[in-house]
Amino acid sequence: MKERNTFLILMIFTFSVCMVTLDFGQQGRGKGRIQGTVVDDSGNPLKDVKITAEHLDYKTKFERKSNKKGNWAIGGLGSGYFLIVAQLKGYEPFTLELQVSQFSQNNAPVNITLKKVVIQEGAAIQDEIDATLLEEGNQLFEAKKYEQAVAKFEELLEKTPSFYQAQINIGNCYKEMGEYDRAIAVFETILEKAKQEKNSFGGDENVSHVLAGIGEIYILKGDVDRAKDYLQQAIDIFPGDENMTFRVGEIFFKQGEAAKGIEYYDKAIQINSDWAPSYRQRGYAYLNLTNYSMAIESFKKFLELAPDDPQAPIIKDLIPKLEEMIKK
């Protein structure tokens, strides 16, 4: 009977992890909200900047513009990772990937600084990102047609060389193709360019994601020590960002390093103790390690913070089974 119960729990765990990776939000829509400011590199607020948030799983798009004080907000977001793009004619586009929870009142603010385009003699300037190329590249990536996706992103870069997200996407394509050294070379090129443009990486979320991407590749290559170095650098750039710390935990957990995942989920909880996803994933990680007591504790805290989360019914059903396992 004990073996049967253990098998049942493992089946529930496997199903639950699959559900978590989808992070349901009604096709990208929900109750989530993000907000922030947008200024130029002198700190002056910018009006009418187009802010786009696109759900990376569902491709659902939301669009708003900043007001005269540079403030903006986007509501109605589901849970998951979003690509945030800010564009204004005469300025270089700004992009970042941001994890949003529709069950949290504390989604990280997105404060944006746009740099003016430097027009060189004879140079053709593309003021806005070719959204069609970006969407086509993303669709090819989702379809696992990575070589074709690379071609689209490279075409986009020819029009908008400063669009970091296209470069990051190319690196991610090579990573998915198993061409790890080539992916690292792309990411390191991005880092080198960023070094030339600024004295410090502090606060640069794009650089933080690039470093995390390199760290993930080293995990795939089996070089955990080197991976930890890059992942820690990513966190150091955003030391108070629970999203980045949580993402590092996800990288370790998805690669079978549940104990290391817990370490970073704990750090995310220290940063923001009211953010439910950290408790949920920590619960699954403890379940993976068959530490049922800690899994229950984490799951109960998650339910307290996010009783309406799509994962709540599964976890409510799982807790009594874990409690029964402890009694045996």
What's the pTM value of the predicted model, to 2 decimals? 0.62
Q: Higher confidence at residue 286 or residue 197?
A: 286
**Rounded mean pLDDT of the chain?**
82
Pick the CATH number of 28-128 from 2.60.40.1120, 3.40.366.10, 3.40.50.2300, 2.60.40.3620: 2.60.40.1120
Cα-based angle 316, 318, 321 (whole degrees, multiple of 5): 125
Instruction: Give the model's confidence band at 23: pLDDT under 50 very low, under 70 low, under 90 confident, else very high.
Output: very low
- Strand-pairing partners, residue 84, are 53, 96
pLDDT value, residue 19: 46
Share above pLDDT 90 across residues of the chain, in percent, rounded to a whole number: 34
Render pLDDT for 124-134 as a digit per residue (tens, 0 to 9).
445 455 677 88
What whole-number distance in Å separates Cα of residue 272 and Cα of residue 241? 9
Instruction: Give the model's confidence band at 120: pLDDT under 50 very low, under 70 low, under 90 confident, else very high.
Output: very low
Render pLDDT for 260-306 as a digit per residue (tens, 0 to 9).
999 999 999 998 898 888 999 999 999 999 999 999 999 999 999 88
Tell me the three-class secondary structure of the chain, residue by residue. Answer: CHHHHHHHHHHHHHHHHHHHHHCCCCCCEEEEEEEEEEEECCCCECCCCEEEEEECCCCCEEEEECCCCCEEEEEEECCEEEEEEEECCCECCEEEEEEECCCCCCCCCCCEEECECCCCCCCCCCCCCCHHHHHHHHHHHHCCCHHHHHHHHHHHHHHCCCCHHHHHHHHHHHHHCCCHHHHHHHHHHHHHHHHHHCCCCCCCHHHHHHHHHHHHHHHHCCCHHHHHHHHHHHHHHCCCCHHHHHHHHHHHHHCCCHHHHHHHHHHHHHHCCCCHHHHHHHHHHHHHCCCHHHHHHHHHHHHHHCCCCCCHHHHHHHHHHHHHHHHC
Q: What value does the mean pLDDT take over residues 166-180?
A: 92
Contact indicator for 80, 99 with CB cutoff of 8 Å: yes
Q: What value does the mean pLDDT take over residues 24-42?
A: 79
What whole-number distance in Å separates Cα of residue 274 and Cα of residue 257? 25
